[in-house]
Amino acid sequence: MPIEANGKVYETDEEGYLADLNDWNPDLAAAMAKADGADLDENHWEVINFLREYYEEYQIAPAVRVLTKAIGKKLGPDKGNSKYLYELFPYGPAKQACKYAGLPKPTGCV
């Protein structure tokens, strides 16, 4: 289903993940969240930006367990736990946050 942001239409796959990673911009993330009925605050952005950096470095979207551990390392145990991340991204932190970050669906997600 294509997604619209700032008057431009972007291609996605059938699950809503952005077709071309290079198309990504913050407005697009906000538009995807809005379509899911969510508003992004600074805590969401912290995770989204973290995922973009992770992808830049390793060329993959991390599995949820790996994401949780890596967030804990960088942002502390208050944020590096599943409960906190699920509250931010109730559809599953890796799946939902990766979608907003413009990344492919994490490897190992079925």
Partner 1 sequence: MSEPWEEEGPGTVKKFMYVNRKAPYGTIYALESLEVVLIAAAFEQDVSMAFLDDGVYQLKKGQDTKGIGQKNFSPTYRALEGYDVEKLYVEAESLAERGLSEDDLLVPVEVMSREALAELMNEQEVILSF
CB of 72 to partner 1, least distance (A): 12
User: Do residues 16 and 1 touch, judged by C-beta distance below 8 A?
Assistant: yes
Judge whether 28 and 10 are in contact, CB under 8 Å: yes
Q: Is 109 a catalytic residue?
A: yes
For binding to partner 1 (CB under 8 A), which residues are involved?
57-60, 62-63, 65-66, 69-70, 81-83, 85-86, 92, 107-108
Q: Which is nearer to partner 1, 5 or 79 (CB)?
A: 79
Find the shortest distance in angstroms from Cβ 9 to partner 1. 25
Which residue out of 15, 86, 109, 110 is catalytically annotated? Answer: 109
Helix (H) or strand (E) holding 102: none
- Cβ proximity of 79 and 72 under 8 Å: yes
Any idea what DSSP says for residue 12?
A: B
